[in-house]
Amino acid sequence: MRPPLLAALITALLAACSTPPREATDILERQVRFVCGNGEEVEMRFFPRQGVAVLVRHGMPIELKQQPSGSGFVYSNGPNTVRGKGEELSVEIGRMAPIQCKAADSKAGSSAR
């Protein structure tokens, strides 16, 4: 095979293997705002395909990894943990007492669960 033809073949094969960019609706699966018993609001952004969620508290995002759960869901990064089931959410920040929250609303992407 001639070098220019081989180079063209390799380029075509590599282009065929590349993945197309994902749309934002494919990435963010579910976003839920919670109102907590202490008066603050938090937001959870769930990315189940990646096995992560982001807790937004006081405007600061905290990435959490999905953990095994017998019922509901659990996401944690060690010092920060969120546990939830249905519209209930418990936020554990370090050694603070857990903050109990309830869902205020939700926005689902095109592929929401």
- Per-residue pLDDT of the chain (113 residues), as tens digits, is 555 665 555 655 555 555 555 555 446 689 999 999 999 999 999 998 999 999 999 999 999 999 999 999 999 999 999 999 999 999 999 999 999 999 997 565 534 43
Question: How far apart, in whole angstroms, are the C-alpha atoms of residue 88 and residue 65?
Answer: 19
pTM: 0.69
89: number of Cβ within 10 Å:
24
Find the CATH number of the domain harbouring 44: 2.40.128.200
Residue 113 lies in a domain: no
Which segments of 1-113 does DSSP mark as H helices, in order?
3-17, 24-27
Half-sphere exposure of 36 (CA within 13 A, CB side): 20
Domain residue limits at 98: 24-107
Question: How far apart, in whole angstroms, are the C-alpha atoms of residue 64 and residue 76?
Answer: 5
Residue 46 lies in a domain: yes
How many structural domains does the chain have? 1
